[in-house]
Structures are given as C-alpha cells and as structure tokens.
A and B are shown apart, each in its own frame.
Chain A
Amino acid sequence: MSNVLEHERYRVLIVEDDPLMLELIDTHLSLAGYQTFQARDGYQGLSALRDTTPHALVLDINMPNLDGFGMLTSMRRLGYLPKVPTMVLTARNQTSDVQEAIRLGASDFLTKPFEDKRLLARVARLIKSKAPRAHAAVWM
C-alpha cells in the first residue's frame, strides 16, 4: 500500500483495552488493507472517533473507565450513531450483552476468541452496509 492511496483506504477504529487483542485485531485489519486507529478505553475511543471519523468501529464491551456500553451511549448522544457502523466484541457469548449493545446502536457483534476470517468478513460487512449506499457520506 503506497502512501498515495493512504487517504483513500477505509478507516477502522479499534477500541480495546487488552493490548494483545488490540494488536492482533490491528494486525489482521492492517494486513487486509484497512487504515487502523487504536484506542484503549471508551474515553480515548470517543476522542479518536472525533479525530479519525472512521468508516467502522470495532468496540470491546468490557473495558476500564468507560466501557463499550458507555461509549455507545455517548456516541448516540453525540450523534456518532447510527452514522458509524459499530461492531462490539464480547468476551463471553452473552446474548444479554449483545442485545444491550444492539439496543444502544451497535450493528453487529463478534465473540472472542474469533477466527481472523470472520473478523475480516464482519468488518467488511460493516463498511459495505454503509459505504455503497446513499447515506455513505455521513461525515459531510
């Protein structure tokens, strides 16, 4: 990927407190060609969201300080939802967590641990769900 194309790549923000997991997701997405951004908790995530205006957000639920639910709630209040398609990561396959996240505006979920293929498919789906359609230019 050349720097020339850098600005034309899809941007994905990853908000995850576990550094290993964060690095793993970042690596997979970077290798797949996405431009990635990292944040370690909900607060950092919100400021990164504002700064990077990503095409998709991968959001961990269980985080210190401001957790995924808190971030989703804030995103909605601040108008980032439903504009930024968001996929939440749950450590446990807790349907109640997933339901709550979706109620708060998340579009999808992925249970940890996950296969890299599935992560890529889900992120692609997230972006596809918004990008090619009329309301793609959400940030303008």
Chain B
Amino acid sequence: MATGTHSMSKAEAHPFDAETAAIFARHSSDILVTADLQGVILSISGGCRSWGWEPEELIGRSATSLVHPDDLAKFQANMAGLASNDTADQGADREIRYRRKDGGWVWLQGNPHVIARRRGGLKLINIFRDVTDRKRAEIALAESEARFRRMAENAPDMIAECGVDGVMTYVSPACLAITGFTPEELVGRPAASLHHPDDSHKIYEMCQAVFASKGTIAPWPVEFRATHKDGHEIWLECKPILAVDPVTGRYTGLNDIIRDISKRKALEVQLRQAQAEAEAAAAIKSEFLANMSHEIRTPLTAILGFTGLLAERPNLDEVARGHLRRVTTASRALYSLVNDVLDFSKLEAGQFDYAPQTVCPVEFAHETLLMFSPQAGAKGLALDFIAEGEPPDWLSFDPDRMRQILLNLIGNAIKFTGEGSVRLRLRYAPVEERLYLAVEDTGPGMAPENQAKLFQRFAQIDGSTTRKHGGSGLGLAISKGLTEAMGGQIGVTSELGVGSVFSFFIIAPRAHAPATPDEAAPVTLDGVRVLVVDDNAVNREVARAVLEQVGAEVTLAEGGAEALLVAASQPFDVVLLDYRMPDMDGSETLRRLRTSEGPNCGIPVLGFSADCELAGLGDMGGFDDFVAKPINPALMIEKLLTWTSDDDLGVEVARVERA
C-alpha cells in the first residue's frame, strides 16, 4: 500500500482546479472514468458517446460486462493488480477491447490511478484512450508478419534478410536443406560469407546499380556459387530487394529470396556437354565426309587418268572405245557426285570460299543456260532466257558459286521435263542489291507436301527418282546452302501437271566495268605461282592485276627481306624481283635466295627493272631474265610463260642431255 499512498499524494497534488478538470473531461477525446475496485463505474465523461453510450447508461454498470470475452482474463488480472497495488503492474498490458453500444468493439488503452475516496476506501480513476486504429494496424502487421514467417518457414527457397551492415538478421529454415547450416548458424553472419569470392562482385555490382538508380532499375537475378556446410559447391540465385525506410527513404537493408539452382546448373552443364558432344559428332561426321570424299576422289583420279591414257592409244577397236567411253562417263558422274558430297560437307562445316568477281549478270546467266543446249536439244526442249527490266551491266558476285546453283537448277529442270520448255528469268532489285533468278519448267510438277522436303539434304521425292535420274540428292541442299551463304534465299512453287519454278536471289552489289584486257589473251599462266617483289605498291598491284587476269597465283612482297621470308616457306614457280629497292636490293635478295636451302633456291628469278641498269651486269647479275618496267602486260606474260611453260616442258627437260 506504500505506492498506493504515493499515488494518492500525487493525486492530491493535482495542479488543476476542479473547473479545469471538468473542462478537460468534457472536451478531451480521452475518456475519464472513475470506478470502484470491483469495476463498477462511478462516473464517466461524455466522450463515451463516441462509442454509442450515454454516460447515464454506463454509470452503475460493471465494466466487466463491457469487456471483450477474450480480454476478460487480462482485465481481471489488471484489476487484481490494481487492487493489490502491485508495482509490477506498471508495465501491464492495459489495452483491452470494450463493447460499443452497437455491439462492435473499441480498443481502449487505460491509464488507471488508484486514489482514496473521500468517503474512505479506494477508487479508480482511469483515463481511457481509443487506440482502435493503432491496434488494428498492429494486428494487421502481426498477421502479415505471421503469414510471412509461415511462408518463410515453409518455403523451399531460402528467405534471408540482412541489415545495412550486410549481416544476416533472418534466414528461413530452408537454409538447412540448401546450405546445410541452420538459421541460427547463419543469422549474425555477413551474407557475403556465403558467396563464392569470384561471384560476390556480381551481387555487389547489382545492388550498387539498383541503389544508384534510386530504385528505377529493378534488381535482376544473380547466380552465384556458395559452399555447403559439408564443403561441396552449390549454385544459388539471389534477387535481393533493397529495403528502404518509407519515411526517410534511407536504405535499411536487403531482403532476398535465394533459390537453389544447383540442379538447374547441373542440367545446364549436362546440356552444354550434350551440345558440345553433338557438335563434335557433327564435326566428326563432316570431317569424315570430307575425308572420305577425298579418299574416293584419289582413286577416281587414277581411273580417269588411266582411261584418258588408254583412250589415246591408236590401235583400239570400236568396241573397246565404246567401253572406254562408258567407263569415262561413269567415272565423271561418280566424280561429280563425290564433289557434291564434298561441297555439301564443306558448306555444313562452314567452310565456304566466296570469291566475288565483276560479272555481267545477263551474259553470265545466258551462257550458263546455253551450256545445256545439247541436252535440251536431245529431248526437244526449248531453252528461253528472259532478262526483266534493265539489269545492270556489272555486278559483283562469285560466278563459280552462282554457276553451281544454276547448273543444278537448270539440270534438274531439263532432267524432269519431258516436253515443253525450260526458261531462265533474271531480274535485279537495285535497292536491296538482289539478283533474282528463276528456272521455270513445264515438267510434271510436285505436290505441296513434297516441295518442303526438296531442300533437305539427301531428300529425293522417292527412292525411285534416284535410280531413274541419278544424282546425290544433295544438289538442292547445296544450292540452298550456297544461296544462303551469299545472303539470299531459294524457294520453289509448283503445280502438279503444270510445272515448277525454282527461284532464288543472292546479294550482288553493283560493280564498275572491269578493265578489259587489250585482247582476249589466249595465253594462260593458269596455276603458275609468281612471287612479285617490289617496293613500289603501284608496280606490285599492276603486276598482280595483269598476272591474275591470266590465271597466275600471285604473292606480293614489299622488299627483299619479306620476299626471303615468304620464299622460305612457300614454293613458287618464278620470282619477279625488283632490282632497285631500299634496304636489301635485288642483287642481294637474289644472292641470299640462291644460297638458301628453301624450296625456291633454284627457281627462275626475273629481274624487274625500270631501265637498262642491268645491261652492264656481267652474266646478267645472276638473274635468269629481265622484265622491263613500266610493265607491258603482253611482254611480261610472255616472259613468264617462257620460264614456266607448262605443256611440253616436262618432256623437253626430260630429254635434254645432261651437260
């Protein structure tokens, strides 16, 4: 009762006079109640009207009858505490639900004081504050918290929260299954202690970016490695959300749902392996095809070679000649088949050699079509050529590749067309730089379901076509590969009994007219390998242009040192060597080449000279011959021809008596 006495003395020392107290009681949103220690209301201020009650209705009633049943125990404990005036009750929960007149409930926070009654005994003065709103918010929060925990406790993903210091403040129990650590073991540890050192920067950078963007950038998932308690590596994926104080906008920590992606990672690894294996298998297959084709070509060369030799023998009778012709024809067919397979495997392996040249498209296409005149004539088919619009005179594309496609399409058209015509149509779309070509026939046509299969490799409409018409079944697949490699597309439209149209385009930019040689040179340096050494770029390029025009394979060197380097590793048939060069001049280069052990130490070397400076040199200075500058194409080709002449050289040399 000592504290009770203390309370009483406090109440007696109240600074307000009665009038002030009355005004407070009337106007305060708080409600002033006096009651006895059994809870019977002695007086109550008008604020109770906000709960629907008139003060008169409540005075004399026991407050107990107004208390929410769930809070009754709390209420009674509080009353008992107050009666005994236990100081421990100072911190008691005095938030209790009371009934409104309409049956609803208000949360009232009591602030009771026990004071002495004038007539003796004790009474309660309680100042109630309506805390319904706060209480509801608190309950909602608690409920959401409980719901969150429930989710977190059961989530297969690991829910984690950490503060600004990066120390984990909460980790859901899933961490045990995922990391092997219990939540207790993880809470209090820095989140980064889980991250693989090589991966932590990824998470850090993402958080920095999100933070720096002030939340305008959404966090993205980051995959990282972590170490399981038992030591093995696991893959996790985090996507942390920055927790920001809604009032201050300050960053308060990170929340995250961390997913175990070890299985997915393992699957990815497997998938990659499987893909690598599949690619390797495909590469092996392509290589096998390429090798096999080569291996087949070698004996075929022998067959063709011997057949050729045999055919040249004078005393063959007609029967033998006939047989020989058949062997030749069959070998050629086989040879082209093997070439198809080789081409195709090269295309598949991505080894596509594209050598664009300046070509007159109309002339080119027409000439290619006319190559089929004998076949078409034999079957009585007409060959038509139509150039639509005004195609440019010169375009840049690879004529060999283009010819390959056309030969295949026109060849097919003629093969499958019994009567009527085969028509080649050409058109140029200047804006897209597309050269369109279409081969139209009046053949049997194809059903739609067969058209799709056409461009697949090895597909022929049925097996019997192969027997009837031959071919590798790769022609259209190769054509498709070639058009696509040249930036184009190929397709077919066809109608049964009417005919088929195979059309394609390639990218072919306009080109300038090529410099025409003085006259169509009958000479050829086909396959002759020439090393041109000159410090003057113009001379080099002119020489190259002239020589390549007649089929030579030209390699350029800017000086003696470079020439020696190139000559050390690559065989040539002839060297064109500038006499006057800085650093290492022609004579020195020649001397070193001759004394080297490389593949070219003994080959013909022609001095390339601007004037008669070489005339005075004894023994021609070691050069085999001279080519005068400025370059006269015809003379230069003639000189090179003399020193590399192809045809009878072998015989000539072989028969020369040795000195």
Interface residues of A (CB under 8 A from B): 5, 8-10, 18, 20-21, 23-24, 27-29, 31-34, 81-82, 85, 91-92, 99, 102-103, 105-109, 112-114, 116-118, 120-121, 123-125, 127-131, 133, 136
Contacts and interface: CB of A to CB of B under 8 A. Distances in A.
Contact of A124 (B299, B601, B650, B657): B650
Given A21-B301, A116-B308, A118-B646, 11 more contacts: A9-B654, A18-B299, A28-B305, A91-B294, A103-B569, A121-B644, A121-B650, A128-B604, A131-B658, A133-B602, A136-B658
13 contacts: A21-B301, A32-B651, A33-B654, A34-B650, A81-B597, A91-B294, A99-B569, A103-B569, A112-B294, A116-B305, A121-B573, A128-B653, A133-B602
B302 A21 contact: yes
Contacts of A120: 646, 649-651
User: Which one of B291, B570, B571, B603 has the highest number of Cβ atoms from chain A below 10 Å of its Cβ?
Assistant: B571
Contacts of B602: 85, 107, 128-130, 133
Contact of A113 (B301, B597, B647): B301
- Which bracket fits the contact residues of B? 35 or more
B573 A23 contact: no
B306 interface: yes
Interface in B556-573: 569-571, 573
B599 A102 contact: yes
Nearest to A105: B597
Interface in B263-293: 290-291
B197 interface: no
Interface of B: 290-291, 294-295, 297-303, 305-306, 308-309, 527, 569-571, 573, 594, 597-604, 644, 646-647, 649-655, 657-659
Nearest to B654: A33
Contacts, number: 120
A27 B300 CA distance: 16
B649 A121 contact: yes
B558 to A, nearest CB: 22
Given A102-B569, A102-B570, A107-B599, A127 B298 contact: no
Nearest to A130: B602
A112 B644 contact: no
Contacts of B308: 116
Nearest to B301: A113
A124 B649 contact: yes
B63 to A, nearest CB: 102
A30 to B, nearest CB: 10
A129 B652 CA distance: 15
Given A91-B294, A125-B573, A125-B603, A10 B306 contact: no
Contacts of B603: 125, 128-129
A138 B2 CA distance: 133
Nearest to A115: B527
Given A108-B571, A121-B650, A125-B644, A82 B601 contact: yes
Nearest to A126: B602
Contacts of A108: 571, 599
A57 B90 CA distance: 115
A19 B644 CA distance: 30
Counting from the closest, the 8 A-B pairs by CB-CB distance are: A129-B602, A113-B301, A120-B650, A33-B654, A107-B599, A20-B302, A108-B571, A32-B650
Nearest to B305: A24
A123 B647 CA distance: 12
A118 B528 CA distance: 9
A120 B301 CA distance: 15
Nearest to A90: B294
B555 to A, nearest CB: 14
Contacts of A118: 527, 646
A8 B657 contact: yes
A127 B305 CA distance: 23
A114 B309 CA distance: 15
Given A92-B291, A107-B599, A112-B301, A123 B650 contact: yes
A33 B649 CA distance: 11
